Structure 1
């Protein structure tokens, strides 16, 4: 909800279409969602690196990194998680408008929040990539020792332990990261982008 009515939208001189033509590729948001430890950030960064190698204009928005700056005022309550995802959705939309392929890596546990972000984009600009990994495997990996802390009660409202994760109802891509190498996951994403004529 906007707090002021004294605002006017200004149309840009250079359009999203213009930027896509100049880049010679499309733009979209690859929204990686999944439990902590599922491999979202690893795969998102690997995809971004591969795109960069091929001259594709790209950028990565990572959950932890964004919380160091733009969203450092937010905690992990359900309300704050929703606001975190709302802000990221708006930033991702700006990147898509700038002609980039933006990869985002956020747990984004609630379907309603992901749907709200999807609604910001034109058809096929929002690509939900579910990094599906069993909780047991995520706990085994536990790269940041967060599950261990959550089990000890040192972290509250931790997704998968005392806060729910709602699996995507109809993601564009599902990647079983416990059964797939990082390179295989990258290939799946790039194949999808080619199929949709974004690359």
Structure 2
């Protein structure tokens, strides 16, 4: 990670987050979807985004696969690089929240410490850790990308849930059982949480 050098300081413009919130008529939050590969993160993230936009909200999905084509294209999948990938995504999410946008992330983010770092960067009041709960067996049966079969065959090293650990969230804001719920029902559960807590709704 590059360290800052030289005289670097923060500048703040005349437009505040309160101004952006008033213009966009929404409270910006980050809905951080975490879970195993195949748990439904991308499917749920993009459906949630679609429904939020239909309701007049400005939002954006930071999908794990997508960000690795640019923001994280220099990173691998060892613990250090996973940590750095999450750090970068968290900072982007924080900037987008500061712009007044609702952000939905879809990353495995397997380690508790890395998710805690993301919460700290984004801000606890704006961070909604959402655990998409589905067992390795369930995800392996779905295997939408064929990754579990390759991992079990030894073709993918350090694959989360097979040859690398996944630490379940200790105290997430929301748990969605994607092993039993459809994507539509899962998105509905997230909307229920947002409504109950007056988040991501017109200000």
TM-score, normalised to structure 1, is: 0.97
Question: What is the aligned partner in structure 1 of residue 176 from structure 2?
Answer: 175
Structure 2 portions without partners, runs of 5+? none
Deviation for aligned residue 1:146: 0.6
Question: What is the aligned partner in structure 2 of residue 149 from structure 1?
Answer: 150
Question: What is the aligned partner in structure 2 of residue 53 from structure 1?
Answer: 54
Question: What is the aligned partner in structure 1 of residue 105 from structure 2?
Answer: 104
Deviation for aligned residue 1:44: 0.8
Question: What is the aligned partner in structure 1 of residue 84 from structure 2?
Answer: 83
Pair 1:186-2:191 in alignment: no
SS in 2 for 1:144: coil
Question: For residues 122 and 76 of structure 1, what CA distance do their matches in structure 2 show?
Answer: 26
Question: What is the aligned partner in structure 2 of residue 73 from structure 1?
Answer: 74
Give deviations 1:91-125, integer Å, cap 9, x for gaps.
00011101111000000000000000101133320
Deviation for aligned residue 1:144: 0.6
Q: How many residues matched?
A: 199
Pair 1:22-2:34 in alignment: no
Give deviations 1:70-109, integer Å, cap 9, x for gaps.
1000000010000000000000001110111100000000
Q: Structure 1 runs of 4+ off > 6 angstroms? A: none
Question: For residues 140 and 89 of structure 1, what CA distance do their matches in structure 2 show?
Answer: 31
Question: For residues 4 and 158 of structure 1, what CA distance do their matches in structure 2 show?
Answer: 36
**Over the residues paired in the alignment, what is the CA RMSD in angstroms?**
1.1
Question: For residues 84 and 41 of structure 1, what CA distance do their matches in structure 2 show?
Answer: 17
Deviation for aligned residue 1:170: 0.5
Question: What is the aligned partner in structure 2 of residue 118 from structure 1?
Answer: 119
Question: For residues 195 and 133 of structure 1, what CA distance do their matches in structure 2 show?
Answer: 24
Give deviations 1:23-71, integer Å, cap 9, x for gaps.
1110000000000000011111111110000010000000000001110
SS in 2 for 1:120: helix
Structure 1 portions without partners, runs of 5+? none
